[in-house]
A and B are shown apart, each in its own frame.
Chain A
Amino acid sequence: EPEVTQTPSHQVTQMGQEVILRCVPISNHLYFYWYRQILGQKVEFLVSFYNNEISEKSEIFDDQFSVERPDGSNFTLKIRSTKLEDSAMYFCASSERGPRGEQYFGPGTRLTVT
């Protein structure tokens, strides 16, 4: 069964450093998403991406964040200058369709900012 994959599974970085979280969505999917979950809190929507552009972003997704689909398979989330409060589990998701498309989630990347 096709699945969404994410690398790395765990990333430790120092405050102020740039990180790139990588995701490989399911191959025929067209809609891509990033969510995050701070320890002990809800899973929160960050951004959605379709047709090579951001469809919607949350208030969390400020200028320090960017997303890119550099090739036909990868979908990345970049944090330019990490802060302590960026420590969280980051989930990538993809769906084949929009309105009724089921979102398939990857296993997540745990980001720890020290």
Chain B
Amino acid sequence: AQSVTQPDIHITVSEGASLELRCNYSYGATPYLFWYVQSPGQGLQLLLKYFSGDTLVQGIKGFEAEFKRSQSSFNLRKPSVHWSDAAEYFCAVGRFSGGYNKLIFGAGTRLAVHP
């Protein structure tokens, strides 16, 4: 069965520091991979997605992620974190079935940013 693991429940970084959030997936075929962010009281906003092609994908708000098939990983990175990046981040794999994507989410990583 498909699954997504986010090993870090909570991460704290200083503003201006670099960030890497880990995501590992289990999926039999080539996965569709996503990162979403959820700020308090808000819905899930798509940061970036990977379907095929270049394994380094760029997203909004200065985020990028790298798909590594050999490691079944899709880690999210940002070179310099801003205080406004404090939020919860969810990695998801899309299971293509019958013409649409059913998203399977990881448990999320809560990011705190220190000034």
Q: A interface vs B, CB < 8 Å?
A: 4, 6, 31, 33, 35, 41-45, 48, 50, 55-56, 91, 93, 95, 98-108
Contacts and interface: CB of A to CB of B under 8 A. Distances in A.
Interface of B: 32, 36, 41-46, 49, 51, 90, 92, 96-108
Given A91-B44, A99-B101, 8 more contacts: A43-B90, A45-B103, A50-B99, A56-B97, A95-B101, A99-B96, A102-B46, A103-B46
B26 to A, nearest CB: 14
Contacts of B102: 33, 45, 48, 56
In this complex, the member of A99, A104, A107 whose beta carbon has the largest number of chain B beta carbons within 10 angstroms is: A99
B41 A55 contact: no
B14 to A, nearest CB: 27
A105 B43 contact: yes
B100 A48 contact: yes
A82 to B, nearest CB: 23
B80 to A, nearest CB: 25
Given A105-B44, A106-B43, A99 B99 contact: yes
A43 B102 CA distance: 12
Contact of A43 (B32, B51, B99, B105): B105
| Most A-side CB within 10 Å, residue of B36, B43, B104, B108 | B43
Contacts of B41: 107
A26 to B, nearest CB: 12
Contacts of A56: 97-98, 100, 102
